[in-house]
Amino acid sequence: MRPYVYITRKLPDAVIKTLKQKFTVNMWDHEDISVPKDVLLAEAKKADALLTMLTDAVDESVLSAGERLKVIANMAVGFDNVDIEAARRRGIAVCNTPDVLTASTADLTFALLMATARRMEEAARFVKEGKWNSWSPFLLAGQDVHHKTIGIVGMGKIGEAVAKRAGGFDMNILYHNRSQKPEVEHKLGAVYATFDELVSKADFIVCLTPLTPETKNMFTIDVFREMKKTAVFINVSRGPVVNEQDLYEALTTGEIAAAGLDVFEKEPIGREHPLLTLNNVIALPHIGSSTIETRTAMMTLCVENIESILTGKPPKTLVNKEWQPV
């Protein structure tokens, strides 16, 4: 029997055709609706491989249903949606998509920082709504980015790529990370700071840390109060790293100046979300890596990892490094 691969979202035929040559492949047939849990459980039961999205909770129930399951290829660099420990216990390999999305995600992060600092969304709306009556001295005046201090929380590959972009804007670069990164300090002139030091000194606080039990609820009102009143907060990691009620309070009481958010505690957010009522918030629908080139590269990497594992070869990007082919 050919191995069975289930893909939890509709992906282009061109990307999955190599899988179809070797394996039986089925796909959830929607681009913009995530697979219901009962379907995922039923498919996991039959599958040798699952190609999953960050919207799928690949938890104990899915992994234990997957009696034949050998690999989860998650189409994201983050893997907080996968129970890694449960996969490890069952000898299931978990793969993610680092590296291929680094530059695109750093571009989006910097674009969101610039857009928030320079009030681009408000300004663009102002023109489209026909409100532009005259040039005026402080019309939609924002804040400078160049020569300011950026504080990067989570100096992984994306953090490093953001630091590189910040260097091009003559910014001072602070970073906080679990481990210090001497090579990044040397190469990019980034300076290590404690978390408290970073949040109090930075003009732009950029969150890129993965979601873990340690980083959950890391940004609370106490942290926002430590920031400058002019601080701009940018989050392109995962929503639950931030306490959203506290962020709302910080933005409405003037503790900080503005926020640019690509991720939220519970996605998707609806129009009624309190943060969307604020002019000093730019909200994006979790599109950090979303360019045609990069999303295609992420899909392709998932496909390659599945092919490797189902044919007994080591995958390119393994999350649970202790995994061994059986």
Closer of 52 and 255 to ligand GLV (Cβ):
52
CA angle 313, 317, 323 (to 5 degrees): 60
Site for ligand GLV in 255-314 (CB under 6 A): 288-289
Query: Is 142 an interacting residue with respect to ligand GLV (CB under 6 A)?
Result: no
Q: How many CB atoms lie within 10 A of CB 64?
A: 16
Stretch that binds ligand GLV, among 151-159, 226-234, 251-259, 304-312 (CB under 6 A): 151-159
Among 54, 184, 193, 259, which residue interacts with ligand GLV (rule: CB under 6 A)?
A: 54
Among 142, 167, 210, 239, which residue interacts with ligand GLV (rule: CB under 6 A)?
A: 210
The verdict on whether 119 is a catalytic residue reads: no
Catalytic residue among 238, 244, 295, 304: 238
Tell me which residue has tokens 């234990």: 64
* Contact indicator for 202, 149 with CB cutoff of 8 Å: yes
Closer of 56 and 255 to ligand GLV (Cβ):
56
Query: Is 145 an interacting residue with respect to ligand GLV (CB under 6 A)?
Result: no
The verdict on whether 267 is a catalytic residue reads: yes
Site for ligand GLV in 105-134 (CB under 6 A): none
Closer of 157 and 273 to ligand GLV (Cβ):
157
Catalytic residue among 286, 295, 304, 307: 286
The verdict on whether 89 is a catalytic residue reads: no
Query: Is 95 an interacting residue with respect to ligand GLV (CB under 6 A)?
Result: no
Strand partners, 234: 206, 260
* Contact indicator for 152, 191 with CB cutoff of 8 Å: no
Nearest distance in Å: CB 163, ligand GLV: 11
Rounded Cα–Cα distance for residues 311 and 152 (Å): 40
Nearest distance in Å: CB 244, ligand GLV: 17
- Give Cβ neighbours of residue 313 (< 8 Å, ≥ 6 apart): 307, 325
Nearest distance in Å: CB 133, ligand GLV: 41
Nearest distance in Å: CB 28, ligand GLV: 19
Question: What burial letters (b/e) apply to 248-287, b meaning 16+ CB within 10 Å?
Answer: bbbbeeebbbbbbbbbbbeeebeeebebeeeebbbbbebe
Nearest distance in Å: CB 109, ligand GLV: 10
Nearest distance in Å: CB 55, ligand GLV: 10
DSSP string, 8-69: SS---HHHHHHHHHHSEEEE-S-SSSPPPHHHHHHHHHH-SEEEE-TTS-B-HHHHHH-TT-
Stretch that binds ligand GLV, among 3-11, 114-122, 157-165, 251-259 (CB under 6 A): 157-165
User: In angstroms, what CA-CA distances link 92 with 49, 75, 154, 212, 319?
Assistant: 9, 16, 28, 20, 11
Q: Token digits for 165?
A: 């972009």
3-class SS at 159? helix
Query: Is 91 an interacting residue with respect to ligand GLV (CB under 6 A)?
Result: no
* 303, containing H or E segment: helix 292-310
Query: Is 151 an interacting residue with respect to ligand GLV (CB under 6 A)?
Result: no
Q: Which residues bind ligand GLV (CB under 6 A)?
A: 54, 76-78, 101, 154, 156-159, 208-210, 288-289
